[in-house]
A and B are shown apart, each in its own frame.
Chain A
Amino acid sequence: MNDKSRGALIIIGISVLIVLLISRVRAQDSTVKVGVLHSLTGTMAISEVTVKNATMLAIDQINAAGGVNGKQIVPIVEDGASEPAIFAQKAQKLVQEDKVVTVFGGWTSASRKAMLPVFERFHGLLWYPVQFEGNECSPDIMYSGAQPNQQILPALDWAKQKGYTRYFLLGSDYVFPRTANLILKKHIIHDGLTVVDEEYVPLGGTDFSAIVNKIQAAKPDIIFNTLNGDSNVSFFKQMAAAGLPPAKLPVMSFSIAEPEAKAMGPSIVEGSFAAWNYFQSLDDPASKKFVAAYKSRFGQDSVVDDPMAHGYLDVYVWAAAAEKARSFDIDKVRKAAVTLGWKDVVMGKTKFASNQSLYQTAYVGELQPDGQFRILWNSSAPIFPEPYDPLTFPGKKCLIH
């Protein structure tokens, strides 16, 4: 037998083996497919790739511990490419073609709004990990990111306690800052405090000269900042150039977490405040285990943040709910998820309320020179999530279960 035909024989042999192996796996059916749908390319990739990493970490940990209902989780990763339309397409592909039992993903409100009709029409279940503007209530989405009353309003409570009375609202011009500021304004005025001005800049805007001028004229006690992305760098640089670094005029940001601070260079945002439901510096044993596991897998200099912690938590809660329901059926899992009771997965005690949003604690942190936050304040207990702020949207209720 010459070399060539021996090589061919080996290849045939290996292929037969592989086919046999695959058919064995199929026959046992010992796996369950889930979808992971984040932007891996485009402008949102900076933020979403890390949430995907945290989600994959949780899946691997659960698999290593024996899987869910005796089955290994097989993640099917798709790229939303920072385009809402592609998110909708990929969501449909995951639910219809891949027949996944659930999907973890999404970041921008635009991507969530694009996926929502897909999940409602084809009856899927999406776990959404990012803080958002609320004002939405779908039985096919598990909202683990903070509702306005769990991030924005606690920050206002903290600012009130500190004695700040004059508020300047600044944001990027899209749905989250607009809705957040609508709610903030109602509460600030309701509490007898003053909104000195409200300004918006198009996403990616770099010129803040007029806004800095208006801030100087309005003399606020604190700026509530819902700017997103690169605009923050321009804003903080131009404030510092005008002699108003965060040390002189406090800034409370809602979209700056550990990775953003690291990217911007902590020196320009040092001393500014942020409100989240999770900080890497959180003193909690579950969080410390998560941080250590993430670092050992994705590099010692990597940092974790609130949306990543939520992405990680979502997989664990889904697994626990499926175990409790002894099924992967979407309706049974949904019902089980809201009756699991308190658990510390990564960010202290949390549980899903009957409106499919997460009870969670609010924290306010101050950015340190090393790019980490020092936690200054936390809500006394996990806060009940309210998708519809009673002061801003009176009479609207989210009743799912």
Chain B
Amino acid sequence: MTEFALLTGQAFNGISLASILLLVALGLALSFGLMGVINMAHGELLMIGGYLTYMMLQVLPHGIGYLFGMVAAFAGTGIFGAILEMTLIRRLYGRPLDTLLATWGVSLIMQQGARSIFGPIGDEVTAPKWLTGSLNVSSGALMGLSLPVVRMFIILLSAAVFGLIVFIILRTRVGLLVQAVHQDRDMAEALGINTRRVDLAVFALGSAVAGLTGSALALIAPVTPTVGQNYIVYAFLVVILGGLGSLLGTLFAALLVGIFSAGCQIFTGVSTSDVLLLLFVIAFIQFRPRGIITISSRSLEGS
């Protein structure tokens, strides 16, 4: 394997990591960034997506079962998010600290629930045939480079989900309402927009994206009751680094974190690269306290 191939491989890994971070953070960017809800149970929404995929694979043949698993994870977690919003989160708007505690409680309940239903030991989701294997370069300057198909799939999925959300926000009527509520909740209400329904829609969509992400992560990581805990810190990191309320900022932050980590790991280990990453983010926030892209919004300023 040539040095050039190693570097190219790491560049690919950086983008792959960024795509995973983007997927993990997108749901949170919607609920936290647009609505100011600090959802500590976001990781557990990923976990639900993983288990829904696992359950679909138990009843359906393996090849197409995974596609249905993704759909089930998206829809099921979305419905779960909607129920969560209606029963709990709705009552806590404008009280971020209370939401933090309440959703943390929800995350503990969900972890124990998963433990009781599925057992403490993880369940296995194997990638279908069409996602196994890798693209190998066997000659030339990039000799020895191998790009796993499943990682390319996650990159494409991530791009598609991001595109879809941006399209919904910028080009549809629902998106227009979301923007209106985000920019000035009181004025939106005065104009007759049902802000409760908008909140419900945004939170359900964020949850659905988290479920879909859980389904994708099941291909490369375990499905266990506590799997969400591995991602929650990075999700908040990316959303805060990107700037609250800005989807484009979330995209840039995911790319920055992914490529920075992969770059560090060329010459150091995983633990050290995590330390360097956190130092970098702390330094960055010192200079740009509101993240990469700053949005001025009355709803954020008020809180």
Contacts and interface: CB of A to CB of B under 8 A. Distances in A.
A265 B149 CA distance: 21
Interface in B125-172: 126-127, 132-134, 136, 144, 146, 148-151
B221 A213 contact: no
Interface string A41-72: 00101100000000000000000000000000
B10 A213 contact: yes
A233 interface: yes
Contact of A241 (B149, B222, B265): B149
A332 B222 CA distance: 48
A241 B121 contact: no
B1 A238 contact: no
B126 A234 contact: no
A51 to B, nearest CB: 15
Interface stretch (A100-108, A199-207, A273-281): A199-207
Contacts of A30: none
A268 B126 contact: yes
Nearest to B5: A217
B121 A46 contact: yes
A137 to B, nearest CB: 29
Interface string A230-248: 1001100110111100000
Given A217-B144, A241-B148, A241-B149, A207 B17 contact: yes
B269 A209 contact: no
B274 interface: yes
Contact of A234 (B10, B16, B220): B220
A241 B150 contact: yes
B271 interface: yes
A242 B124 contact: no
A46 B219 contact: no
A256 to B, nearest CB: 13
B13 A209 contact: yes
Contacts of A265: 124, 126
Interface centre among A43, A233, A265 (most CB of B within 10 A): A233
B148 A210 contact: no
A242 B13 contact: no
Interface in B221-254: 221-222, 224, 226-227, 229-231
Contacts of A243: 133-134, 136, 146, 148
Contacts of B10: 210, 213
A340 interface: no
B134 A199 contact: no
B134 A233 contact: no
Given A230-B227, A233-B122, A264-B122, A209 B151 contact: yes
A239 B232 CA distance: 24
Contacts of B67: none
Contact of B270 (A200, A263, A268): A200
Contacts of A216: 1, 9, 144, 146
B106 interface: no
A399 B34 CA distance: 65
A59 to B, nearest CB: 24
A267 B134 contact: no
A99 interface: no
Nearest to B9: A213
Contact of B124 (A206, A209, A219, A268): A268
A211 interface: yes
B16 A209 contact: yes
B7 to A, nearest CB: 10
Given A45-B120, A206-B230, A216-B146, A240 B132 contact: yes
A210 B132 contact: no
A204 B150 CA distance: 21
**Max chain A CB contacts within 10 Å: which of B10, B144, B148?**
B148
B136 A205 contact: no
B178 interface: no
Nearest to A199: B269
Interface in B1-15: 1, 5-6, 9-10, 13
Nearest to A245: B132
Interface residues of B, number: 44
A219 B2 CA distance: 12
Contact of A264 (B9, B124, B150, B217): B124
Nearest to A265: B124
A233 B221 contact: yes
A210 B136 contact: no
A323 interface: no
Nearest to B266: A210
Contacts of B1: 216-217, 219
Contacts of A263: 121-122
A366 to B, nearest CB: 20
B146 A237 contact: no
B262 interface: yes
Given A199-B269, A237-B220, A243-B133, A267 B148 contact: no
Nearest to B229: A204
A362 to B, nearest CB: 27
Contacts of B226: 43
A173 interface: yes
Contact of A237 (B120, B219, B230, B231): B219
Which 10 pairs from chain A and chain B are nearest by CB?
Answer: A265-B124, A210-B265, A233-B222, A263-B121, A209-B13, A241-B148, A206-B221, A213-B9, A217-B1, A234-B221
Interface of B: 1, 5-6, 9-10, 13, 16-17, 20, 120-122, 124, 126-127, 132-134, 136, 144, 146, 148-151, 217, 219-222, 224, 226-227, 229-231, 261-262, 265-266, 269-271, 274
27 contacts: A46-B120, A46-B121, A173-B269, A200-B269, A200-B271, A201-B271, A202-B274, A206-B220, A206-B222, A206-B230, A207-B17, A207-B270, A209-B16, A209-B151, A210-B13, A210-B262, A210-B265, A210-B270, A216-B146, A217-B1, A230-B221, A234-B220, A241-B133, A259-B121, A265-B124, A267-B124, A268-B124
Given A43-B226, A173-B270, 13 more contacts: A173-B269, A201-B270, A202-B270, A206-B230, A213-B9, A213-B10, A233-B122, A237-B127, A241-B148, A241-B220, A243-B133, A243-B148, A265-B124
